[in-house]
Copies of this chain bind each other. A is one copy, B any other.
Amino acid sequence: MSYAQTLGEIRTDLAMETHQLVAGTSGSSVPGVESYTEEKGTTKITRVIIQTPEASQALGKKPGYYVTVESPALRGRDKDELEEVAQVIAAELRTFISGFRLSDEASCLVVGLGNWNATPDALGPKVVEKILVTRHLFESAPPEKRGGLRPVCAVSPGVLGITGIETKEIVAGIVQRVKPAFLLVIDALASRSTERMGSTVQIANTGINPGSGVGNHRLGLTYESLGVPVIAVGVPTVVEARTIIHDALEQITSMGGPSMQAYRKEVIDRVLSPYFQDLIVTPKEIDVLINDIARALAGAINIALHPGVTAEEVFRYLE
């Protein structure tokens, strides 16, 4: 059964959620998908490998490797817990970097996707603000003189409605000039579950694909389109309002009630205003959530990118 048929109005950018949904309906495991879960303290790591075109179609996600790190500490403010999760995320990021056979000196362009004028979509630009940028400091210095710092540069390209230019075009232009060894692209995501907002980081070796993200990217940022490896890092910051309603109707069945899915479309049409294209569910204090998660994620990225930087230093450093 295909993703579209199964998922209906449920929108999620997390591979682990689409896998759960499809696996849930089709019995147990989806052919062509491998999935593992492990726990480190309060942190839960889920690895999903989509191996075949069939699995890719069934899940509606590109073939590739998706890691999800979940921990309530991410949206909390306990420094010790946060440092711990940041370490876990950094370790996963380093595995992705090694997976592309990139050395500690390989230069990285960090790209913060999303609209800085729309709070739930502003995660990428907020992370970029806190990235430890070093490329300009040692353009001519040999690696041994770089003090454990990788050459890193960072941009927030904005969104089509603000610039009049497809994000992909801006990034491709910069890649052509700067020639980074790889890209690390940050984006705000939509998940299925309100519980995962601000508490989950997905890392994928597939790049950013059309239709994904809170801002719904029209063109992809991938190895195929840019010519360099693209590691995608995303955090769910919203759940679409229609997903919530769909979910509510589905829950009735799972609680032993009748199926209400026949009413789905009409209920959604009646409850959600047609005026707004994108109604979303967020915490009331969305600004705080975005700022907290941006700080945590930037910390993890700074540790992962710069071999000479420790978690302690990152969170000691006064931004």
Using a CB–CB cutoff of 8 Å, the interface residues on chain A facing chain B are 72, 75, 77, 79, 82, 117-121, 133-137, 151-155, 157-158, 160-166, 169-170, 172-178, 193-195, 197, 199, 214, 238, 241, 244-245, 247-249, 251-252, 255, 257-258, 260, 263, 266-268, 270-273, 275-288, 292, 295, 315-318
Check B194–A170 contact: CB distance below 8 A. no
CB neighbours (8 Å) of A278 from chain B are 283-285
Specify which of A72, A238, A245 lies most central, judged by the most chain B CB atoms within 10 Å of its CB.
A245
Q: Which residue of B lies closest to A121 (CB)?
A: B284
Query: Chain B residues near A315 (CB, 8 Å)?
Result: 316, 318
Q: Could you jot down 28 A-B contacts, CB within 8 Å?
A: A75-B275, A118-B286, A120-B286, A136-B165, A151-B164, A152-B164, A153-B163, A153-B165, A155-B165, A172-B177, A173-B173, A194-B276, A214-B284, A244-B244, A244-B271, A245-B245, A251-B263, A251-B267, A251-B271, A252-B260, A252-B263, A257-B263, A278-B283, A279-B282, A279-B283, A280-B282, A286-B286, A292-B318
Is A178 in contact with B174, judged by CB distance below 8 angstroms?
Answer: no
A133, B163: Cβ atoms closer than 8 Å? yes
- B241 near A244 with CB under 8 A, answer yes
Does A120 contact B284, Cβ atoms closer than 8 Å?
yes
Asked if residues A118 and B164 are in contact (CB atoms below 8 Å), the reply is: no
Q: How many copies does the complex hold?
A: 4
* Residue of B whose beta carbon sits closest to that of A286: B119
10 tightest CB-CB pairs across the interface, nearest first?
A173-B173, A153-B164, A135-B164, A195-B273, A133-B164, A278-B284, A194-B273, A173-B177, A276-B283, A173-B174
Contact of A174 among B165, B266, B282 (CB under 8 A): B165
- The answer to whether B176 touches A118 (Cβ under 8 A) is no
Contact B318 A295 (CB under 8 A): yes
A184 CB → nearest B CB, Å? 13
Shortest Cβ gap from A299 to chain B (Å): 9
Do A281 and B281 have beta carbons less than 8 Å apart? Answer: yes
A176 contacts B178, CB within 8 Å? no
User: What are the residues of chain B within 8 A of A318 when measuring CB–CB?
Assistant: 77, 79, 82, 292, 295, 315
Most chain B CB within 10 A, of A160, A255, A267, A288, is at: A267
